[in-house]
Amino acid sequence: MPANWKKPRRFDRNLIVIGAGSAGLVSSYIAAIAQAKVSLIEAHAMGGDCLNTGCVPSKALLKSAKVAKSAKDSARYGVNVSDVKVDFPAVMQRLQQVITDIEPHDSVERFTALGVDCIKGYARFVDPWTVEIKHADGGSSTLTSKAFVIATGAAPVVPPLPGIEDSGYLTSETLWDEMATRKAVPQRLVILGGGPIGCELAQAFQRLGSQVTIVEMAERLMLKEDAEAAAMVEAALKSEGVDIRTGHKAVRFEGKGRLAIAGRNSETTLEYDDIIIAVGRRARVSGFGLEELGLVKDGKLSVDEYLTTALSHIKVAGDVAGNQQLTHGASHEAWYATVNALAAPFKRYKADYRVLPRVTYTDPEVATVGLTEAEARDRGVAYDITRYDLDDLDRAIADGEARGFVKILTTPGKDRILGATIVGSHAGEIIAELVLAMKHNMGLRKIMQAVHSYPTWAEASKYAAGQYGLARQPVRLQRLAKRWFDWRRG
């Protein structure tokens, strides 16, 4: 340890949390409830990416887009709606109102009332136990702490393509302020990246009136998801008019409004009014003094299974940890990071990602928990598959949304759930029951025994469990039963 790093004898705080996104908010909340003295430092807006530029605005946009699609398709339900028009400024105004309505959940006022010392400013480590905070008024202050949770999130990756500086590109963070100034949706919209963010934005803008083109280097969309589920999403996007260029990579920008892309054997140029870069996100590690502490390597924080850095009192949670990029995943990690920070040296917990669901909110939705088929094969995990198609579900038929499936992987010879993928309407809601079952080691038979209201989408899990039972009927016992009942009839 360098000689100029002198550990304080007394500390101003038990815990300092840097970053007020999902992970930071949960960390500071837990610490305050535990009666620790905690400060939460945020340079920008409380709520982080999720509230301001991520989950909340994107889901509000998707809802408006779904209403527009439903209105255009209303004749399917015996309702004639003519001349459907999208008032894009009103859509964006509603989106901002949704953010405003949710803001109090993440506000300084709420967290101050809970006992959190909320500080607006930029935090930078000057030694392992001290941060300097630069405030908006130009002043600065310092605080020491026994422990820290780094929850600085991630930022969109912007590839170093030739000409990108003059391309006018947008990202999932910058598009909201830009679109708020528009009178209408962009007529020609290119999206680089066919992951969850790219697919959600593509469908939303296509439904609101844009002609969208997705450019994806891989041979299919949504590489992390079950191949069959991803294929259903791709088919849905194509059916709505989205131009999907899989197996293509962006080569260069040819001035603002023109992007050269290359496939296997040819190169072509796409013209656009707007382009959104959605090729991934990178941990925010620069500017906080973490490099000087020796905690950053190749642009990443090195974190162990306890969410601990090389300095044991500094923990990490959320996107910056690099283990997953989910809002609820950030909250999940925040519990481990905070408890491990406050309970040291008496107790610590390994972060458990076994039952961490994820949802892509396209139409149809894709929800996954645990292993997919591809992951099970890659890891050499033996599995059985149970499948239930949603075109058999009464509620799906009544709603006119009878497409998709529930696919469940189980341990051979047992009903223990290894993973599940659901594709269809309300998939993100349906999967919650399977998440609960996996978390508490309940098998499919327990789900089948539970009474489910009729007709509901939640019945999909029960019927999938029923399929498991049908495929494993006690044939020998049935034969004996048949002989018994035959004898009883005389």
Pairwise CA distance, residues 455 & 61, whole Å: 29
Q: What sign for the dihedral angle of Cα 130, 131, 133, 134?
A: positive
Question: What does DSSP say about strands 170-171 and 274-277: parallel, antiparallel, or unpaired?
Answer: parallel
Q: State which CATH number among 3.40.50.980, 1.10.1370.30, 3.40.720.10, 3.50.50.60 fits the domain covering 164-280.
A: 3.50.50.60
Long-range CB contacts (within 8 A, 24+) of 399-405: 399/425, 400/76, 400/77, 401/364, 401/425, 403/232, 403/364, 404/232, 404/364, 405/228
- Bridge partner list, 148: 16, 314
Fold of 13-46+107-156+282-343: FAD/NAD(P)-binding domain (3.50.50)
Place of tokens 């439904």: 207
What's the confidence (pLDDT) of residue 388?
Answer: 97
Question: Which amino acid is located at 181 in the chain?
Answer: T
What's the confidence (pLDDT) of residue 473?
Answer: 86
Q: What is the pLDDT along the chain (490 residues), one digit of tens a residue?
A: 555 788 999 999 999 999 999 999 999 999 999 999 999 999 999 999 999 999 999 999 999 999 999 999 999 999 999 889 999 999 999 999 999 999 999 999 999 999 999 999 999 999 999 999 999 888 999 999 999 999 999 999 999 999 999 999 999 999 999 999 999 999 999 999 999 999 999 999 999 999 999 999 999 999 999 999 999 999 999 999 999 999 999 999 998 999 999 998 899 999 999 999 999 999 999 999 999 999 999 889 999 999 999 999 999 999 999 999 999 999 999 999 999 999 999 999 999 999 999 999 999 999 999 999 999 999 999 999 999 999 999 999 999 999 999 999 999 999 999 999 999 999 999 999 999 999 999 999 999 999 999 999 999 999 999 999 989 988 899 899 999 999 999 8
What's the confidence (pLDDT) of residue 255?
Answer: 87
Domain with CATH 3.30.390.30 in the chain: 364-470
Note whether 393 and 431 are within 8 A (CB): no
- Bridge partner list, 134: 122, 140
- The architecture in CATH of the region 364-470 reads 2-Layer Sandwich (3.30)
What's the confidence (pLDDT) of residue 364?
Answer: 97
Least Cα distance to 284 among 59, 119, 44, 38 occurs for 44
Could you tell me the end-to-end alpha-carbon distance of the chain, in angstroms, rounded to an integer?
Answer: 91
Place of tokens 């002043």: 139
What's the confidence (pLDDT) of residue 3?
Answer: 53
For residue 68, the surrounding DSSP H or E stretch is: helix 55-72
Domain with CATH 3.50.50.60 in the chain: 13-46+107-156+282-343, 164-280
What's the confidence (pLDDT) of residue 433?
Answer: 98
For residue 488, the surrounding DSSP H or E stretch is: helix 475-488
Q: What sign for the dihedral angle of Cα 451, 453, 457, 460?
A: positive
Which two tokens mark 90? 């009103």
User: What's the Rg (C-alpha) of the chain?
Assistant: 26
What's the confidence (pLDDT) of residue 2?
Answer: 57
Pairwise CA distance, residues 42 & 81, whole Å: 47
Pairwise CA distance, residues 299 & 284, whole Å: 9
Pairwise CA distance, residues 362 & 340, whole Å: 36
| Neighbouring residues of 307: CB distance < 8 A, sequence distance ≥ 6 | 315, 316, 317, 321, 333, 336, 337, 340, 351
Q: Give the C-alpha distances (Å, rounded to integers) separating 386 from 232, 324, 411.
A: 19, 27, 11
Question: Which amino acid is located at 152 in the chain?
Answer: T
pLDDT digits (tens, 9 = 90+) for 215-242: 999 999 999 999 999 999 999 999 999 9
Helix (H, G, I), strand (E, B) or coil at 224: coil
